[in-house]
């Protein structure tokens, strides 16, 4: 996590090993990574009956004495996500959605998709599928702030539950291990059960029965545990920034497939600090050479090329913020479970951002893993039980691979130049746009309903 605010005053120290030197677990489940996926999973496991540790190299991004999200940033975070209805339901369940609704968010009601080479175009409309919106666009940092604020709130409730004057103290659910990065992983046994110990860069260790890697695309834990991955470069980079257009966006998202890669305008919310509804977050995925060229442009030249690439949509671009660039890499772990280590979120799969599905797939991993751990606990199975973990893997590996395949198909399909492929694309987009049932089915699929 970057841009951290306050250190966690409520981080609790791990239990020490016993006097004989034998290992004891600090928690049943240790989640490494308190980003969008890891923090959500920790909160989702609140009533699982498991003791959960959450470890991150960053600090808790929440005030320790307030239930309100930490910040109302003056400027927009360049990284945003479009959350589907399923992700929204999960955030509602863990008590975070209402906090997000108090911060900037943009429920978008229309989406237009078209391509550079041809006349094919599809328009999606929330009204047509009788939904209030097609999804909500929210800045990454605001979601992490809201998750961490909820974690801090839960820690305070937990401390009250465990106070000496409580008649029946509840078992401790959550321990935070913030401000420490993972450096080594050691596997051992205790009373015939697997136990893993993480060595952190500050010299501390934390041990657990089950270790969950939610430490992002470049997961150190995945590498330490020896997971094999299939990965390749797209040969593209994504440029992300915030822009202001001359006209209002009317809560419409745009995606245009250029021959050098897709370009998306994601409408941002108006707020007291930033009124008007003329700001969008953009993700411009472009072949490496073109991306380098765009990064080297002056602001004025960039705005003009961007306006041209989006065919002057929303009256053209009048201002753009600092540009950030990410190399695009597809990565998928061959397995999500190895012994007592499990992968979730980007640690298991990273996909092209063209359909904005990365976080949403991670949220579905969270739901599946939490449900399997809970079902296992009901059947008196331990969290590290291979049967429980394999059920999670079976539930998620197929759908994640299918979505990655679809994105790959889109990416390739729209960059192909042969006339026959271009003709097919045009016919395809026109057909989707003409057939209302198909259009509605696609909109519902993207929304996750
Ligand atoms: C340009 C771009 C645009 C995108 N747009 C979208 C979009 O519109 N919609 C969407 O759904 N997705 C989008 N994504 C993908 C999305 O950002 C990721 O899927 C999401 O951030 C993954 O969440 P995560 O929690 O798995 O990992 P991360 O968000 O990367 O969190 C990982 C956490 O682990 C911690 N960590 C890392 N290493 C260690 C360590 N060694 N020790 C301890 N802690 C560690 C980090 O501090 C961090 O808190 C986009 C991605 C890119 C690159």
Indicate whether residue 283 lines ligand 1 (CB < 6 A). yes
pTM of the model as a whole: 0.88
Name the class of domain 106-135+232-329+418-447: alpha beta
Ligand 1 centroid from CA 195, angstroms: 27
Ligand 1 centroid from CA 167, angstroms: 42
Q: How far apart are CA 439 and CA 430, in angstroms?
A: 10
Average pLDDT score over residue span 147-159: 95
Confidence of residue 118 (pLDDT cuts 50, 70, 90): low
Ligand 1 centroid from CA 20, angstroms: 40
Indicate whether residue 368 lines ligand 1 (CB < 6 A). no
Average pLDDT score over residue span 444-448: 61
Least confident of 236-240, 362-366, 428-432: 428-432
Over pLDDT 90: what percentage of the chain? Answer: 64
State the DSSP code for 391: H
Residues of the chain with CATH 3.50.50.60: 27-77+142-230+330-405
**Backbone dihedral region for residue 438 (phi beyond 0: left; psi -120 to 50: alpha; all else: beta):** alpha
Q: Let me know if 420 is exposed, middle or buried by CB neighbors in 10 A (0-12, 13-18, 19+).
A: exposed
Indicate whether residue 33 lines ligand 1 (CB < 6 A). yes
- What is the three-class DSSP state of 348? coil
pLDDT tens figures, 22-67: 457 899 999 999 999 999 999 999 999 999 999 999 999 876 555 5
Confidence of residue 8 (pLDDT cuts 50, 70, 90): very low
Q: Homologous superfamily of 27-77+142-230+330-405 in CATH?
A: FAD/NAD(P)-binding domain (3.50.50.60)
Ligand 1 centroid from CA 445, angstroms: 23
Indicate whether residue 357 lines ligand 1 (CB < 6 A). yes
Residues of the chain with CATH 3.30.9.10: 106-135+232-329+418-447
Using DSSP bridges, classify how beta strands 317-320 and 229-245 pair: parallel, antiparallel or unpaired. Answer: antiparallel
Indicate whether residue 316 lines ligand 1 (CB < 6 A). no
Q: Name which residue sits closest to atom 4 of ligand 1, judged by CA.
A: 353
Q: How far apart are CA 138 and CA 88, in angstroms?
A: 11
């Amino acid at each position: 996590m970057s841009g951290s605010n306050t250190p966690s005053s409520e981080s609790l120290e791990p239990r020490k090993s016993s006097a004989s030197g034998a290992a004891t677990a600090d928690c049943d489940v240790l989640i490494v990574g308190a980003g969008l996926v890891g923090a959500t999973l920790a909160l989702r496991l609140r009533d699982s009956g498991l003791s959960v540790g959450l470890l991150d190299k960053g600090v808790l991004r929440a005030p320790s004495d307030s239930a309100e999200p930490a910040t109302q940033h003056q400027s927009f975070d360049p990284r945003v996500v479009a959350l589907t209805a399923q992700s929204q339901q999960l955030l509602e369940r863990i008590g975070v959605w209402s906090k997000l609704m108090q911060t900037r968010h943009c429920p978008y009601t229309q989406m237009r998709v078209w391509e550079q080479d041809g006349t094919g175009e599809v328009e999606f409309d929330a009204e047509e599928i009788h939904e209030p919106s097609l999804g909500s666009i929210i800045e990454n940092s605001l979601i992490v702030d809201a998750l961490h604020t909820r974690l801090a709130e839960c820690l305070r409730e937990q401390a009250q539950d465990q106070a000496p004057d409580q008649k029946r103290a509840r078992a401790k659910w959550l321990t935070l291990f913030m401000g420490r990065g993972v450096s080594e992983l050691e596997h051992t046994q205790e009373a015939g059960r697997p136990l893993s110990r993480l060595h952190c860069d500050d010299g501390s260790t934390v041990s657990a029965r089950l270790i969950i890697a939610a430490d992002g695309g470049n997961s150190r834990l995945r590498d330490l545990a020896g997971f094999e991955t299939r990965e390749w470069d797209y040969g593209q980079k994504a440029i992300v920034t915030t822009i202001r257009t001359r006209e209002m966006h009317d809560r419409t998202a745009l995606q245009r497939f250029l021959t050098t890669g897709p370009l998306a305008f994601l409408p941002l919310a108006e707020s007291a600090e930033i009124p008007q509804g003329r700001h969008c977050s953009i993700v411009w995925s472009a072949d490496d050479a073109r991306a380098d060229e765009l990064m080297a442009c002056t602001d004025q030249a960039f705005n003009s090329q961007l306006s041209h690439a989006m065919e002057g949509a929303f009256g053209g671009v009048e201002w753009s913020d600092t540009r950030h660039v990410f190399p695009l890499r597809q990565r998928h772990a061959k397995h999500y479970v190895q012994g007592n280590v499990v992968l979730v979120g980007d640690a298991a799969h990273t996909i092209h951002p063209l359909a904005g599905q990365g976080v949403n797939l991670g949220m579905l991993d969270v739901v599946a893993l939490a449900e399997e751990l809970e079902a296992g606990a009901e059947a008196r199975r331990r969290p590290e039980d291979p049967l429980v973990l394999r059920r999670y893997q079976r539930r998620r590996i197929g759908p994640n691979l299918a979505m990655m395949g679809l994105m790959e198909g889109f990416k390739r399909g729209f960059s192909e130049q042969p006339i026959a492929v271009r003709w097919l694309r045009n016919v395809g987009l026109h057909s989707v746009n003409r057939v209302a049932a198909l259009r509605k089915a696609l909109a519902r699929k993207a929304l996750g309903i």
